[in-house]
Amino acid sequence: MASRYDRAITVFSPDGHLFQVEYAQEAVKKGSTAVGIRGTNIVVLAVEKKSVAKLQDERTVRKICALDDHVCMAFAGLTADARVVINRARVECQSHKLTVEDPVTVEYITCFIATLKQKYTQSNGRRPFGISALIVGFDDDGIPRLYQTDPSGTYHAWKANAIGRSAKTVREFLEKNYTEDAMSNDNEAIKIAIRALLEVVQSGGKNIELAVIRRNQPLKMFSAKEIELQVTEIEKEKEEAEKKKSKKNV
């Protein structure tokens, strides 16, 4: 049944599926994991870095991109598609400033990206974008925001979310460990993002890329050293928690 309705994007199947969109979502599930956390005074994006070939220059592989001074996004899925979407979003951020004098709100740019994605699910001869995006930032009113878009063009606001490979595992971890109180501490927000990624990433801190935006401050990418520091702290906390457990058991 599926094979007869999954060639052209603009054709519904009898049971109401747009198969090309669903296949795009499968493509997203093959991409490397990205995690977004919304704290009280900080927003965090952490992504799993794919291991690079020996001769490849690591610095050119970037999965967290600034859309404007106060908004940035991470994606999971086809890198080339992401590049196109990010370019369009960056242009829109500046056009908005030109037409209307104000910087975009995070919701506005998310809505723009989602509308762009939706257009490609309803056009002839085009396929959907094979990416999901996590968009974070602060609005003028100082409120932090995290949004997620998917290839079908829908978007939702989240307190914490993950996309890409093993997103389900990470999301379950976040549901268990995310508390609003802890999020009022910036460091805790960063740690929970790293801890969530460590659940699914092999070989620890070397394969994690992290960026934060604090209120009224520009995007800050963490260096490998800073990430290592966080990872060591997390491992210490783990050991201490285990010691306590074993003491109780005895």
Chain residues binding another protein by CB under 8 A are 99-102, 105, 107-108, 111, 140-141
* Closer to another protein by Cβ: residue 64 or 113: 113
Least CB distance to another protein at residue 159 (A): 20
Least CB distance to another protein at residue 108 (A): 6
* Closer to another protein by Cβ: residue 57 or 101: 101
Alpha carbon distance 136, 181 (integer Å):
20
Residues in the chain: 250
Least CB distance to another protein at residue 181 (A): 28
Least CB distance to another protein at residue 123 (A): 22
Q: Where are the beta strands (DSSP E) in 101-163?
A: 131-138, 144-149, 155-157, 160-163
Q: Side chain identity at 200, as an amino acid letter? A: V
* Closer to another protein by Cβ: residue 145 or 171: 145
* Closer to another protein by Cβ: residue 19 or 112: 112
Q: Please spell the DSSP secondary structure of 59-118, one letter per residue.
A: GG---EEEEETTEEEEEEE-HHHHHHHHHHHHHHHHHHHHHHSSPPPHHHHHHHHHHHHH
